[in-house]
Amino acid sequence: MVGFPGPRVDADFAALMKDGIFGAILFKRNVGSAPETAQLCRDIKTRADRPFILSVDQEGGRVARLRGTPFTTLPPLRELGQGGDETLARRAGLLLAHELRAVGFDWDFAPVLDVDTNPANPVIGDRSFSREAEAVARLGVALARGLEAGGVASCGKHFPGHGDTTTDSHHTLPRLAHDLERLRRVELVPFQAFAQAGLASLMTAHVLFEALEPGLPATMSRRVLHGVLREELGFDGVLVSDDLEMKAIADHYSVEEAAVQGTLAGVDLFLVCHSAPVQRRAIEALVKAVESGRVPRERIAEAHRRLAKLEARFAHPAEDRLATLGDSAHRALAEGLASHFTGRDPTERLA
What CA–CA distance (Å, rounded) separates 219 from 168?
15
Which residue in 12, 43, 85, 170 is the catalytic one? 170
Contact call for residues 48 and 24 (beta carbons, < 8 A): no
**Which among 171, 139, 135, 179 is positioned nearest to 59, based on CA atoms?**
139
304 is a catalytic site residue: no
Measured distance between the N- and C-terminal CA atoms of the chain, rounded to whole angstroms: 32
49 is a catalytic site residue: no
By 3-state DSSP, what share of the chain in percent is helix, strand and coil, each rounded to 5?
A: 45, 10, 40
Contact call for residues 218 and 159 (beta carbons, < 8 A): yes
Contact call for residues 152 and 105 (beta carbons, < 8 A): yes
Which residue in 126, 164, 242, 243 is the catalytic one? 242
Handedness of CA 124, 126, 131, 134 (dihedral sign): negative
Active site residues: 170, 242
